[in-house]
Structure 1
Amino acid sequence: MPFPEGVPSVPVRYSITSAAGGGPGEGTLQLMPTVPAVRIPGADGVFTGGGIYRFVDGQLADGEGNQVRLLPTNIDGANPAVWAWLGIESVNGSQPRHFYFVVDADATEVDLGVVQQLAPDLTQYLAVPGESAYEAWRRAGNDGDEADFLASLIGPPGDITAANDYTDEQLGQGLAAEVARANNAYDPAGAASAAQSAAIAAASSDAAGKAASAQAAAISAASSDAAAKASTAQSNAVAAAATAAASLYLPKALLTVDAFMAQSGTKVFGHRGAGMVCPEHTEVAYDYAIAHGLQAMELSVNVDSEGQLWCLHDLTLDRTTYNTGALNTYPSTGVAQRVLTNGRVMLGQGWTDQPMVPLRRMLDKYLGKVVLFLEPKGNDAVVPLQNLLATSYPHAPASVIWKAHVGTSFVWPKQQGYRTWCYVDDGSSNAVLDGKDSLVDYWGVSTSMSSTRRKEIAARGKPVFSWPVYRRSQRAALEADGVVGLMSSDPVYVRGTTAQATASRWDQQVKESGGTPQTDYNTDAALKFSETGGWVSINRARGTYGLGRYCPIVPGAGGYRIQIEMKYDQLNAADLAVHGGLYFGKASDDPYEFNTINPSNGYHLILRHNGVLRLYRHVTTQTGGIQLGTADIATDAPVAGQSMTIQIDVTPTTIEARRLGNAAWTTGPIADITNRGGYFGLSNGSISDTAARPFWRNLVVTQL
């Protein structure tokens, strides 16, 4: 989008090479200003710019003429006057790379491959010069130069000379008076001169005593006045220096909460980092989310027996690690050296075990760069977290959202200037919400909450975020209810709209983005990877698993084909009519289960243990499927452990399923145009004994 008239901009080019082979690369380039906004003389409002841009064949694809326009960093009269651009280069097949650069207002075009790229290990925050104490003194209405300012800090010195002059003057006057009094009292008829001498001596002693007292009092008063003025000046100078130092050295957020929320469109946050793609609340989960361009993520916090804070959702280690018991019974060194997460159980044995991650490491790594949701999950973690933020991260309120349940207190975070997200139970009443409303910036609703109730909470007028979101169909329903933020455990898939791949790599033994089990964060529903052969299965009775990574399928002019190998390692001799297979043709990635009312229409292919092949159409109004074609397709009975290849062809007008190996093992083209959705997945069909479940491998989706 072009900049308004009067706002300067410079076209910027950049090209990348592939990590493998050195040819044109593909990936993304995220461009971010290192300040929240820039005010430009003569232009209304403030400006930023930047965004996330794709590379195609090594060139920027989202700009105009393979270029984007950015604000120069040295615009005359701009506020701030000193800043830079941050570039985050993510080349497919390489780790993301961060660099800083400046854009000259006089340049006709800037090639980022030519300009100086400032190293990311340099300071990542720009110093904002503070006001000197002398300038503050002048701004307060005082006249004079720096010498006058320094003099005002100390005040007039104790004036001993003046005190001495005063004393001498008083002494002289006292003596003269006493002499006069003595002379008047002198008896010329013969009074003794001794009386005169005594009178003079007494007067002299009295005057000397008074003079000494006056001198001491004058010195004391002058000293006290100078000390008070010096103390006041010192306090003022210290306060001014502290303010200037804070302005100069306190880190500035590259992305504030308010700037993030001001962006258009639905916001997607990393739930537990990216807990359904990487081991939850580990550094690799957080890195995955940020490397894929997310600008906000959640950090759950608990505390060990020594008061150190760790990123952990549960109070105990039982679910997510190989250890057991409450975290607050473990010493810090034990957690750091001996506790490993067991993400392999849910995400595949291809994962290596990950260590627990201290909260400080993540704050040092990401605070200010992205928006962080912080939540102390246990009561004993609240005060340590508050103390850590107050003492070590006083700048945190700019880029942290305090996250907590409706049943907890929000007084402290609001007093400290934090934005707050209050997530509520499905049954929380309006009275409960009213009691928290003044302390809440954003409301949280669950995906299990009714649509009607979500709309009621959205109608309260504050932004609403929902959790846990791991399907695109959930996103569509939530957006329709007025939800503007999604806490997602698979954020890359949820925010996307296209397929990420057309062929499986299950031999890697790691869960893929876009895999949608029937239940999130559930090891029973997770995809299971065989130790050899690249086979996968669902170890759950009648279980299904969505293959969103390959969805929606993009058909060619003649449609598309799904081909996959399938086997049964054990056959159910007592009931050879049980079956597994594939479901497909759905317009949504909502969960599917055989012989059940499902939320959307589609098709279902089954292959029974006796070799019978069938196609069904399923609808949302009945549990049983509607068989397509008039006859069962009898194929050879499966042999335990032996691979079979299944193929489905979907054309604009027909559906056909076949088992390869015999030309007769096909339904033939069946005229049916009912469903042409692009979502599909794996199904255990009618199988309740998981020992007899099907296994799949080598999925390939091709256009026809």
Structure 2
Amino acid sequence: MALPDDLPTVTLTGTYTHPDGSPMKGSVSVTPTPGKVVAADSGLTIQGRAKQKIGNDGRVTLTVLATDAPGINPANFTYAVKIAFPDAPGDEFTIELPAAAPNVQLPAITPASPSDGDYVVITGPEGPEGPAGPAGADGEPGPAGADGSNADAEQYTDDALATEITRANAAYDPAGSATAARTAAINTAAGDATTKANNAQAAAISTAAADATAKANAAQAAAISAASSDATTKAGNAQAAAVSAAATSAASLYLPNAIQTVDAYLAGATPSSPRFFGHRGGGMVRPEHTLVGYRACAAMGFALEVSVNVDASGELWCLHDLTLDRTTYQTGALNTYTTEEVGQAVLTNGRTLLGPGWTDQRMVPLRQVLDEFLGRIPILLEPKGNDAVVPTQTLLDTYYPHAPRSVVWKAHIGTLSLPWAKSRGYRTWVYLDSNTTDAAMDAKDSLVDYWGVSTTFTDLRITQVKDRGKPVFAWPVYRRSQVARLTGLGVVGMMSSDPRYVSTNLPQRTFSRWGLAVKESGGTPTLDYDTAYALVFGEGADAGWVSINALPNQSYGLGTYSPIQGSAAGYRIAFDMKYKVLPGATVHGGYYFGKASDDPYRFTTANATGGYHLVMRASGDMQLYRHTSGVTTGTQIGSTIATTAPVADTAMSFQIDVTPTTVEARRTDGTGWTTGPIADTTYRGGYHGLSNGSITDLATRPYWRNLIITQL
């Protein structure tokens, strides 16, 4: 199979012969030195060796991937080339094959072995050119002539001197009286010339030899140094490339692609289409920061908010507080417990907030959460204690290099960890407090992707933060009325302790199962995460009954059954109520309904939205009240109905009928106890709930069971 057309290649060619020209046999192989090369865009992995035999004509051709091909990891890798012959030494060397040179001759890039020893060629002085004479006949080969330039020079000098002597004798000294003098002078000159020539030759040879030796030594040292440096550099590059390739390969094997990235989850988030995050794993309906909570949120498609702290052994655990006091049966700081102690002896106490039907849950290590959910759903991750920050960073750097795709680094505005997060490519969610100044926000603005505001902030402050131009997420959100307010202010993200409830506007059921003693989604106490305002599930003889163990004038919203979906004729609310201990005759408990919103409803309180209130007094009087928004007192509608006084720890049964034009309340454990249809159309909202009414002693609080919503 050929390489994809969009990847550049290089073709290697070469011809190999014996000294007599006959073709050689052998092979050429090319192997990527990282061991594995990955082309991410093509989904191609290249590894092993490419091998080609030398043909019968001594030629070989081999085409391979260019080492600087785009999209290749590691980038700019190298090849190990091996040329092997059965009857001659081969060659092994490492090369780069860039795409800029698509055709490469192997002999041109194969290192050649240097010859042994040094040599120097010295050439003597050249004599004058004589006149050309006629060509003579070829004679018998003579004895070997002089092989040095000095002998030629001496012969030439002797011949010239003899000619000069003959000419001088004939022209100037026929008597021959000067012959001896001239002969002596010439001999002296010739001897001196010979000596100087010999000395010059010896000096030239010595100088040339010394220079050649020095240059050879210098060249050898430079070559060795360059080769060593080059080898070190290439080895370092190869090691770095191998480590990078191994990390990339490991990450790809662990999680080839994030199923849900942060950017994909938040794409298109607007106030009309906000995104929801399971605050503490949905801690108002499941034990907070536990696997059961995280799994439920992920199964519904909500992002997770995960807080972590570190134990005495350095293990990171999912926990909001620095201590175990609030959420477990143990006490004291987490960082005083070992990993073994936390794993074996610490259980969460979600039963106190969420009902005795819950099974105690074990705490969960951060690594278990990351292994199960990373890449499957976005995670907002926050180290809560200062001592947990570095261990969290180290864990992510070492074992989860792909985490920035699906993890948001969550931190308070005062944190020092934001530069680390941004340098790794994490998105950041930075939450504010009531004392955060604009100057503090300006200083951190370049490190922030999303701002966080509390639901306790004023509308003005939330608007100011939104107007800075970055997405804003709010926390903690557990009511639909909070979502309506926040989206109206431009908030696009909801950190919710009950995301299933607040992300819809539909009821989840029409009848209670309080006998299971498990808190329902949509249950809205006055305060979230506070056991003092939680719904109390009866046990033993009171199994199936619920109550509100808080004062004064507390209520509990039943968003699970809201908004009520009536027929064209209206709807009916039916339930049982009792007092285990009877209060004073005029004291009452009851039920509220007709509200347009799930904001808190409290008797004798100026509520945000209005509605109706059924009261049952300990004297037996049953009444209906209408409460106007912003007004503390209610207005009775219809007549007071005198029924039989309640009996301690004995059930009473009630029905409330709401039609498009009337409201009617009945006590049905007797006969004739009804207000009759009262013409009142003031409130037709679908939100309702339980009310402690006017009780002042928790021992006398009302209990409810068997809630059923039906259409008329």
2:636 counterpart residue number: 627
2:430 counterpart residue number: 422
**Match for 1:601 among 604, 610, 615?**
610
Q: Per-residue CA shift, 1:131-157, capped at 9, x if unaligned?
A: 675699555634445968xx97xx846
| Counterparts of residues 556-567 of structure 1 (less than 5 Å) | 556-567=567-578
1:299 counterpart residue number: 306
1:258 counterpart residue number: 263
Matched residue SS, 1:524: helix
Code of the aligned partner of 1:426: S
Question: Is contact 1:315–1:326 with CA below 8 Å preserved after alignment?
Answer: yes
Matched residue SS, 2:704: strand
Code of the aligned partner of 1:478: L
Code of the aligned partner of 2:301: G
> Cα 1:172–1:636, aligned 2, differ >3 Å: closer, same or farther?
farther
Matched residue SS, 1:456: helix
TM superposition shift of 1:216: 5.2
Determine if the alignment matches structure 1 residue 550 to structure 2 residue 561.
yes
Query: How many Å separate the matches in 1 of 2:454 and 2:479?
Result: 13
Matched residue SS, 2:281: coil
**Match for 1:323 among 326, 330, 340?**
330
Matched residue SS, 1:168: coil
Code of the aligned partner of 2:119: D
Code of the aligned partner of 1:554: Q
TM superposition shift of 1:231: 3.1
| Counterparts of residues 367-516 of structure 1 (less than 5 Å) | 367-409=374-416, 410-516=418-524
> Cα 1:81–1:700, aligned 2, differ >3 Å: closer, same or farther?
farther
Q: Per-residue CA shift, 1:393-446, capped at 9, x if unaligned?
A: 122222211111112222221222211111111232222222221211111111
TM superposition shift of 1:565: 1.0
1:663 counterpart residue number: 671
1:537 counterpart residue number: 547
> Cα 1:621–1:260, aligned 2, differ >3 Å: closer, same or farther?
closer
1:50 counterpart residue number: none
Matched residue SS, 1:617: strand
Matched residue SS, 1:298: strand
1:335 counterpart residue number: 342
2:88 counterpart residue number: none
Code of the aligned partner of 1:378: G
Code of the aligned partner of 1:539: N
Code of the aligned partner of 1:571: L
Matched residue SS, 1:169: coil
Q: Per-residue CA shift, 1:183-207, capped at 9, x if unaligned?
A: 99xx9xxxxxxxxxxxx99999999
CA RMSD between the two structures: 3.5
> Cα 1:180–1:693, aligned 2, differ >3 Å: closer, same or farther?
farther
| Counterparts of residues 2-21 of structure 1 (less than 5 Å) | none
Question: Is contact 1:397–1:418 with CA below 8 Å preserved after alignment?
Answer: yes
2:620 counterpart residue number: 611
2:320 counterpart residue number: 313
TM-score (norm: length of structure 1): 0.73
2:119 counterpart residue number: 168
Query: How many Å separate the matches in 2 of 1:220 and 1:656?
Result: 107
Query: How many Å separate the matches in 2 of 1:560 and 1:685?
Result: 23
Query: How many Å separate the matches in 2 of 1:140 and 1:511?
Result: 66
Code of the aligned partner of 1:229: D
Q: Where does structure 2 lack aligned partners over 5 or more consecutive residues?
A: 1-39, 45-70, 80-95, 125-146, 158-187, 189-200
Code of the aligned partner of 2:388: A
**Match for 1:676 among 677, 684, 687?**
684
Code of the aligned partner of 2:570: G
Q: Per-residue CA shift, 1:350-406, capped at 9, x if unaligned?
A: 111111111111111111221111111111111111111112212222221111111
Q: Per-residue CA shift, 1:269-312, capped at 9, x if unaligned?
A: 11001100100011111011011121x11111111112111111
TM superposition shift of 1:256: 2.1
Q: Where does structure 1 lack aligned partners over 5 or more consecutive residues?
A: 1-78, 84-127, 188-199
2:100 counterpart residue number: 141
Please say which structure displays the higher CA radius of gyration. 2
TM superposition shift of 1:176: 8.2
Question: Is contact 2:478–2:524 with CA below 8 Å preserved after alignment?
Answer: yes
How many residue pairs align between the two structures?
A: 562
Query: How many Å separate the matches in 1 of 2:202 and 2:431?
Result: 93
Query: How many Å separate the matches in 2 of 1:373 and 1:210?
Result: 73
Which stretch has the larger CA shift, 249-258 or 398-407?
Answer: 249-258
Q: Per-residue CA shift, 1:519-547, capped at 9, x if unaligned?
A: 00000100111113311111012221000
> Cα 1:171–1:691, aligned 2, differ >3 Å: closer, same or farther?
farther
- Give % identity: 55
> Cα 1:531–1:147, aligned 2, differ >3 Å: closer, same or farther?
farther
Query: How many Å separate the matches in 1 of 2:590 and 2:530?
Result: 22
Query: How many Å separate the matches in 1 of 2:366 and 2:516?
Result: 30
